[in-house]
A and B are shown apart, each in its own frame.
Chain A
Amino acid sequence: MKSLKFLIPLAIFLVLAGFLAVGLNLNPREVPSPLIGKPAPAFELTKLDAADQKLKRDDLLGKVWVLNVWASWCAPCREEHPLVMELARRKLAPVYGLNYKDTRPAGMAFLTQLGNPYEASLFDADGRVGIDWGVYGVPETFVVDKQGTIRFKHIGPLTPEVLDKKITPLLKELNA
C-alpha cells in the first residue's frame, strides 16, 4: 500500500483535470432552459404583416411546429436566415417567427430582402412574450410538439449540424 502513495497527487491532478475539462467544454452562454418538457407559454399576438389578425398558442395545438425568434436589428439572425429557409423548405413542420422587439416596417423589409420562411411571424414589440418564453439572446429556436409541449431549444444562430442532427430527426420523430 505504502508504495502506491506517490500516486495520490496524480489522482488529485486527474480529478481536477477532469473537472476543468468538463468546465472548458460547457458553453456558459447556453443556459439550460427550464421550459423544456413544459407546456409552451401562452401568447396572443398580431401577425407582423397584418395588425388585425391575431394568432394564439392554442391555434397551433395538434401540430408540431417550430418557433424561431428573430429581429431585423439582430445580425446573427441575418446569418442564420438561409438555414431557417432550408428548414421551411424541408416541410417537416411549419416555422413560425417571433419578431422580437422590432418595428413592423423593419421586420417586413428584412423578410422582403432575405426571403420569408415563416408560416406567420408574431409581432412582439415590447418583448413580453419573449420574456415568457425565456428568450435572452436572439436568435433562438424552439420545437413544440402536438400537445403543445416545448421539446427543444437552441440558443443563438442555427448551424447546419443543429439543423441536420437535432431538429430534423426530432421533427421526424414527433410527426411519426
Chain B
Amino acid sequence: MPDAVNAVTLLRRLLLALSIALPLVASAKEAAPASDDPVLEAKVMRISAELRCLVCQNQTIADSHADLAQDLRGQVREMLRQGQSEAQILDYMTQRYGDFVLYRPPVKSTTTLLWYGPAALLIGGVLVLILVLRRRSKLPDDRFEPDAPDEAAPSDAPAR
C-alpha cells in the first residue's frame, strides 16, 4: 500500500512540475528574438501592431504566427535598419496590400461611414429617445396603465 501512495504522490509532483514548466517552454518559443537590439525590436513590434495580418485577419502581424506575418515583421525590421520612418513603412505596406492592412484606416471619402457612422447612429438614437420621452411627459396620466403592485404579479401568473 505505501508503495502505491508514493507512486501517486510522485505522479502528482511530476504533473505539477510539468504544468509549471510547459508554459515556460511555450513562451520561450514565442519570444524567439530576431535581433538582439531591444530598442529596434520594440519599434518593430509597435509598427507591427498597426498592421493587419492578411492571412488571419483579426490579428495584427505582431500577434500572428502566420508565415506571411513573420515575413512582414522581417520586412519592417529591415526597413527600420535602413533608417526608414514609420510613415514610410506604413506607406510601403498600403501600396502592396491596400488600406485594409492598416488597423487604423485613414479618414477619406470612402471611409466616412466607417469613421462617423457609429457616432451618427448614437446621436440619432439619443435624439429619438429625447423626442419620445418629451412627448410622453406631456401625455395625461390616464393614458398610462397604472403600475401593478409587485405582490400582485405572482397571482396573475398561471398556476404552477
User: B-contacting residues of A (Cβ < 8 Å)?
Assistant: 28-29, 31-35, 41, 101, 126-127, 131-134, 136-137
Contacts and interface: CB of A to CB of B under 8 A. Distances in A.
A28 B57 contact: yes
A83 B70 CA distance: 31
B126 to A, nearest CB: 16
Given A131-B75, A136-B68, A33 B57 contact: no
B94 A31 contact: no
Q: Which of B67, B94, B98 has the most CB of A within 10 A?
A: B98
A127 B99 CA distance: 21
A124 B54 CA distance: 19
A35 B100 contact: no
11 contacts: A28-B57, A29-B57, A31-B54, A34-B95, A34-B96, A41-B96, A127-B67, A131-B75, A131-B96, A133-B96, A134-B96
A29 B99 CA distance: 14
Nearest to B100: A31
Nearest to B113: A19
B71 A31 contact: no
Contact of A31 (B67, B68, B97): B97
Contact of B97 (A29, A127, A136): A136
Contact of B71 (A32, A127, A134, A137): A127
A131 B71 contact: yes
A101 B70 CA distance: 13
Contact of B98 (A28, A33, A41): A33
B55 interface: yes
A-B pairs, top 9 by smallest CB distance, nearest first, are A136-B54, A134-B96, A34-B98, A31-B100, A134-B97, A127-B71, A136-B68, A136-B55, A31-B98
A41 B94 CA distance: 14
A29 B97 CA distance: 12
B45 interface: no
Given A34-B94, A134-B96, A101 B54 contact: no
